[in-house]
Structure 1
Amino acid sequence: MNKYITKLSEISSKPKRMIVGLMSGTSLDGLDIALCVCDANDIKVKQFRSIPYSGVLRERLSGIQSREVTNTRELTLLHTELAIYYAEAVRKALMDWTVPLEEVDLIASHGQTVYHAPAQTKTDLNATMQIVDGDHIAQKTGIITISDFRQKHIAAGGEGAPLAGIFDEAVFRHKTRHRLFINLGGIANITWLPSRESGKEVVSGDTGPANTLINEAMEKYFDQPFDEDGKVAASGKVHSELVRYILLEPYFRKPLPKSTGQEEYRLKYIEELMQGYGIECSGKDLVTTLTSLTAQSISRVVDEIIKDEPFECYVSGGGVHNRTLLKELRERLTKGEFKNFDELGIPPDAKEAAMMAYFANDLIAGKGSVIPGVTEQNIHFGKISLPW
């Protein structure tokens, strides 16, 4: 028998597992690395770091991400190159944290999303693609690697996203308190967790763009990868008419659950809309307007599903550092008590990397999860790569 099959059995029998979760979002900010300890009922982040992608790497990834036509050679090369990059980053992080490789049970790698294609009609297929090969990570680190989590979601009948609702319900749902989780990555997603004792259903889904349009506008008009602290957004004016026209688009009228991606929301689309309606907007005002778009698209969905109930609100993802965006969210979500995500034992920047560790742990030692509205049976996510 392959010795790593035996090792998998031993890992699954342990009361706790040490797992390195890896996440890189559609914003192409970089690689998040979270060292987690997982058991059947809990997950704790022991160490965390984020490694920014170089300008060259971001440009290469941007050239293949969310494109209907792309360079297949570059796509193939990055599938392997990023895996080697991830493996080296994990080895260095563990060395800096003085954690021997042998003490890590699993690596959980989300990979880099290059295209997300939820069905547009009843006859369409749901599809999504994340590159970064798990075999290369396992081979370079000597650690069993779990990857490609979204494919099972689709194979079972879902859209492949968002996975956050499943994780949020399992880890953060409270017996007596209503909670709202907002994740501000390239795309924004929310999870509404009514208290367990309420008996109400969990609702989760993507609300629309979060950082993706803001970042594109910052790149074009200010030669910056993102709006640091929301300073540019704070200095401009909201073009309310443009926000209104964008929110008339069909996606914003669809009920949750739903998913979307940068394929639907690129700056070119916004500029074409502006041209069509004869709207002129400075770069500064456009960043301000797109920031408000994110807040308004989230608050509209929240108002529809929560109504008048008070709730705790936890925000994670790169957008948590955009003070202007958070300020508007607080102003619009008046029933929410905004709480510090760290109180939950997971830093807000580490949430999605920790989520990957959770799904890896669940695959190896858990009971699986139901996909709300899709499956009645429990599903396990991820594919297993052995080192040798």
Structure 2
Amino acid sequence: MNKYIAKLSEISAKPERLIVGLMSGTSLDGLDIALCICGADGIEVNQFRSIPYSRELGERLSAIQSRETTKTRELTLLHTDLANYYAEAVTNALTDWTVPLEEVDLIASHGQTVYHAPSQINKGINATLQIVDGDHIAQKTGIITTSDFRQKHTAAGGEGAPLAGIFDEFVFRHETGNRLLINLGGIANLTWLPSKESGKEVITGDTGPANTLINEAMQKYFDKPFDEDGKVAASGKIHSELVRYILLEPYFRKSFPKTTGQEEFRLKYIEQLMQGHGIECTEKDLVASLTSLTAQSISRAVGEITSENFFECYVSGGGFHNNTLMGEIRERIPKAEFRDFDELGIPADAKEAVMMAFFANDLVSGEGFPIPGVTEEKIHFGKISLPG
């Protein structure tokens, strides 16, 4: 028997596993690394760090992400280059945390989404592509690596996103209280978690852009990767007409569950929309307007999925650090009691990396999960790469 198959069997039988979760979102801001202890009683974050991408790497990824056409050579090279980058980052982190490589049971790598094509933009076929090769990570670290979690979702008839709803329901759903979880990455997604005792269904989906348009505008007009603390947005004036025209886009009228990506929300399209309607605004006003667009699209989505008069709200993702964005979200969802995500036992910035560890744990030792609205059959997400 392959010794790694035997080892995988041993890992599966353990009461708990030490798993490194890796996540890089569509914001292209860097790699999140979460060292997690996963068992039947839940998931615990032992260590966490986030490593910013270099400007060069960010630009390479931006050049291929969500593009109708791209260079096949660069796509192929990044598939391997990023894997080597991930492997080195994991090795360095474990060294700093004084955790021997051989003590880690699994690495769970989401990879970098380069194109997301759900059925509404792809003639009825659900497809999504994440690069970063699991075999390279496994070979370089000597740790069994799980990856490519979204493909089973599409293979089973889902859209590949968001996966957060499954994770949120199993980890954060409360027995008696209603909760709303919002994640502000490149794209914003939310999960409505009615109390278990209510018997009501969980609702999840993407609301539209979170940071992606803001970041594009900051990079183009201010030569900065993002709007730190929302300072640029705070210095500008919201162009209400521009926001209104963007919110007329078909995606915002689609009912939940739904998913989208940067393929549908690019700064170039917003600028074409402005030109077509004769809208002029300063660069600061554009950032302010795109920030308000995120807040308004989220609040509209919340209004569509629940009429509850009170619920707790927990926000994660990079956009959580944008004070201007968070201020408007709080104003537009007055029924919510906004609470610190850390109260749920997981750091806000670590949530999606922890989610990868969660799915890896289930892949090797769990029963799988149904995909709401798609299949009641329990599905395991991810692929397994052995070190040898």
Whole-Å separation in 2 of the counterparts to 1:373 and 1:329: 29
Q: Indicate the SS of the match to 1:229.
A: helix
Aligned to 1:372: 372
In structure 1, the residue matched to 2:337 is 337
In the TM superposition, 1:136-285 aligns within 5 A as 136-285=136-285
CA deviation map 1:139-158 (0-9, x unaligned): 00000000000000000000
Deviation string, structure 1 residues 71-95 (Cα, Å, up to 9, x no partner): 0000000000000000000000000
Matches within 5 A, 1:56-135: 56-120=56-120, 123-135=123-135
Matched, 1:36 2:36: yes
Q: After superposition, what is the alpha-carbon deviation per residue over 1:288-324, rounded to whole angstroms, capped at 9, x for unaligned?
A: 0000000000000101111133100000000010000
Asked whether the equivalents of residues 181 and 313 of structure 1 are also in contact (C-alpha less than 8 Å), the reply is yes
Tell me which amino acid in the other structure corresponds to 2:279.
I
- Partner SS for 1:152: helix
Cα separation, 2, equivalents of 1:220 and 1:200: 44
The whole-number CA distance in structure 2 between the counterparts of 1:2 and 1:51 is 35
User: SS at 1:84's partner residue?
Assistant: helix
Q: In the alignment, residue 30 of structure 2 is paired with which amino acid?
A: G
1:47 aligns with 2:55: no
1:218–1:8: structure 2 CA closer, same or farther, 3 Å change rule? same
* Cα displacement (A) at 1:122: 8.9
TM-aligned CA deviation for residue 123 of structure 1: 4.8
How far apart in 2 are the matches of 1:271 and 1:26? 21
Structure 2: 5+ residue runs without aligned partners? none
Does the CA-based 8 Å contact 1:23-1:356 persist in structure 2? yes
State how far apart, in whole Å, the 2-side matches of 1:120 and 1:201 are. 23
**Corresponding residue of 1:353:** 353
Structure 1 gap ranges (5+): none
Report the AA paired with residue 286 of structure 1. Answer: L
| Amino acid across the alignment from 2:130 | Q
**Residue of structure 2 in register with 1:383 after alignment:** 383
Look up the SS of the partner of 1:255 in the other structure: coil
Aligned partners of 1:138, 1:283: CA distance in 2, in Å?
A: 45
What's the TM-score once normalised by structure 2's chain length?
A: 0.99
Partner Cα separation in structure 2 for residue 11 and residue 344 of structure 1? 27
1:177 deviation in Å? 0.5
Task: For residue 121 of structure 1, report the CA deviation from its aligned partner.
Answer: 6.8
Deviation at 1:327, TM superposition (A): 0.5
Aligned residue number for residue 12 of structure 2: 12
- Matches of 2:257 and 2:242 in 1, distance apart? 26
Q: Note if contact 1:315-1:348 (Cα within 8 Å) is conserved in structure 2.
A: yes
Aligned residue type for 2:153: H
Equivalent position amino acid for 2:11 in 1: I
Of all paired residues, the percent bearing the same amino acid is 79
- Report the CA distance between 1:198 and its aligned residue: 0.4
User: Does the 8 Å contact 1:40/1:365 carry over to 2?
Assistant: no
Contact 1:134–1:145 (CA under 8 A) maintained in structure 2: yes
Inter-partner Cα distance in structure 2 for 1:126 and 1:194: 28
CA distance in 1, matches of 2:162, 2:222: 31
In 2, the alpha carbon distance for the partners of 1:198 and 1:116 equals 34
Work out the CA distance in 2 between the residues paired with 1:121 and 1:28: 23
Quote how far apart the aligned CAs of 1:120 are. Answer: 2.0
How many aligned positions are there? 388
Q: After superposition, what is the alpha-carbon deviation per residue over 1:87-113, rounded to whole angstroms, capped at 9, x for unaligned? A: 000000000000000110000000000
